[in-house]
Amino acid sequence: MKRPTILVLGAGYGGLSTVVNLQKSIGTDEADIVLINKNDYHYESTWLHEAAAGTMTPEQVRYDVKDVINEGKVKFIKAEVQGIDIPGKVVTTNVGTHTYDYLVIALGFEGETFGIKGLDQYALSIANVKAARQIREHIEYQFATWSLEEEKDDSRLTIVVGGAGFTGIEFLGELGNRVPELCKEFDVPAEKVRVICVEAAPMVLPGFDPELVDYAVRQLKAKGIEFSIGTPVVEATPEGVNIKKGEDEFEFIKAGTVVWAAGVRGNRLIEETGIENMRARVKVEKDLRAPGHDDVFIVGDCALMINEETNRPYPPTAQIAMQQGDMCANNLIALIKGQPTAEFVPDLKGSIASLGDDDAIGVAFGKKLFGKKASFMKKMVDNRALFLIGGVGLTIKKGKFNVLK
């Protein structure tokens, strides 16, 4: 019998977890495993706020895909997926087409601008490692230009961050540490710089314990971050953002940098597959297959699963993406062996948001954590993700070991 081809799209947390688990458990005579990814590297999406603020370099947050795959078992193709033809079982990329017996879609997230005017054109987004580098360089350019120009435009030194959710708060935490360094590097007086977080909802970090939220806001304010809460961004322009402050009250914030960190959706390619989706996320079956498509698995941020306890979708996280990757590999092996698939049940261990390299808040194993303890735990979580995908070697090479800072 012909060996089935398993085609995995995306080398993020979900895709790589699928592949490294498959390569451990499957013989070359059992299946052909092909992995397609836009770049020849994986980037740690959960560290992108650090690359965007400039507290880490793009190089530090990424590693070669080939460092973690067994090339004897997995064929890696660097290519950009352009279309997924589910009935024809063909994936089109910029370097050719690929057929499959089983498909795993793990193409990750994109920024969601909710149709707000001008955001697509004028706001930057922490969407991938190249976008993070662009944010870092944009901010540095604004500081350098301010320093050089005769007639100084102080709005160059204003950074607006849209969104006080997980990503927005983590980015603000990094900026709180980075701005003093930038001031020193570019001869900018600190009092000229403004970092403003604008949030439409009436609260910061929805879903987090109020005591942790209070701590986070206090710490960020102490680093000079301003908050404008319950004030939706209604438009972005080349000069800044317009926010709604009341029934008929608006304020224009002139800003040299606007970073939109207020929402994510799945990959837009999902919307072209014909599979029913909500914002490019597919409500998958319990075994992670797309409804009505027994040969298609969807994992990570392109998959939507409802938490039956809360009746709300699980948030898109790396934690869940990796667990889904493991389960997806197990279910593929089961199918190849003619065995039944198993249900995916997330094992949520907690959630920790960093507030810079030296501070954090969160809950781990049911315990509330603040400050250095939380920051230590966050680094352990980051190192664990490296370990699960690339073992000890990758953890030593890329891990965060400045844990006592």
To the query of whether residue 150 is one of the catalytic residues in this protein, the response is no
Q: Which of 199, 301, 357, 359 binds ligand FAD (CB under 6 A)?
A: 301
Taking CB under 6 A as the rule, does residue 107 contact ligand FAD? yes
Taking CB under 6 A as the rule, does residue 63 contact ligand FAD? no
Q: Which of 243, 280, 284, 318 binds ligand FAD (CB under 6 A)?
A: 318
Taking CB under 6 A as the rule, does residue 400 contact ligand FAD? no
| Residue facing ligand FAD at closest CB distance | 12
Helices (H), 337-370: none
Q: Which is nearer to ligand FAD, 267 or 375 (CB)?
A: 267
Give just the sign of the alpha carbon dihedral 387, 392, 396, 397.
negative
Out of 44, 170, 174, 199, which one is annotated catalytic? Answer: 170
Taking the C-alpha atoms of residue 258 and residue 159, their distance in angstroms, rounded to an integer, is 6
Taking the C-alpha atoms of residue 189 and residue 139, their distance in angstroms, rounded to an integer, is 15
Work out how close the CB of 211 gets to ligand FAD at its nearest, in angstroms, rounded to a whole number.
20
The interface region with ligand FAD, picked from 103-111, 186-194, 236-244, 342-350 by CB under 6 A, is: 103-111
Taking the C-alpha atoms of residue 274 and residue 188, their distance in angstroms, rounded to an integer, is 52
Query: In sequence order, what E strands does 94-221 have?
Result: 96-99, 102-105, 109-111, 124-125, 158-162, 194-199
Work out how close the CB of 62 gets to ligand FAD at its nearest, in angstroms, rounded to a whole number.
9
Taking CB under 6 A as the rule, does residue 162 contact ligand FAD? no
Over the range 214-253, which residues count as b (16 or more CB within 10 Å of their CB) and which as e?
ebbbebbeebebebbeebbbebbeeebbbbbeeeeeeeeb
The interface region with ligand FAD, picked from 165-173, 198-206, 305-313, 390-398 by CB under 6 A, is: 165-173
Taking CB under 6 A as the rule, does residue 263 contact ligand FAD? no
Work out how close the CB of 381 gets to ligand FAD at its nearest, in angstroms, rounded to a whole number.
7
Residue 374, C-beta contacts closer than 8 angstroms, at least 6 positions apart: 352, 359, 360, 361, 362, 364
Taking CB under 6 A as the rule, does residue 329 contact ligand FAD? no
Q: Are 245 and 198 in contact (CB under 8 A)?
A: no
Work out how close the CB of 97 gets to ligand FAD at its nearest, in angstroms, rounded to a whole number.
14
Q: Which is nearer to ligand FAD, 37 or 242 (CB)?
A: 37
Site string (269-298) toward ligand FAD, x via CB under 6 A: x-----------------------------
Q: Which of 162, 165, 300, 390 binds ligand FAD (CB under 6 A)?
A: 300
CB atoms within 10 A of CB 393: 12
Q: Which of 18, 45, 242, 341 binds ligand FAD (CB under 6 A)?
A: 45
Residue 382, C-beta contacts closer than 8 angstroms, at least 6 positions apart: 44, 46, 47, 399, 400
Eight-class DSSP state of 120? H
Q: Which of helix, strand or coil describes residue 398? A: helix
# chain residues binding ligand FAD, by CB under 6 A: 35
Taking CB under 6 A as the rule, does residue 169 contact ligand FAD? no
Q: Is 217 left (phi over 0), alpha (psi -120 to 50) or beta?
A: alpha
Active site residues: 170
Residue numbers of the site for ligand FAD (CB under 6 A)?
A: 10-15, 36-39, 42, 45-46, 48-49, 80-81, 106-109, 126, 128, 166-167, 170, 267, 269, 300-301, 316-319, 321
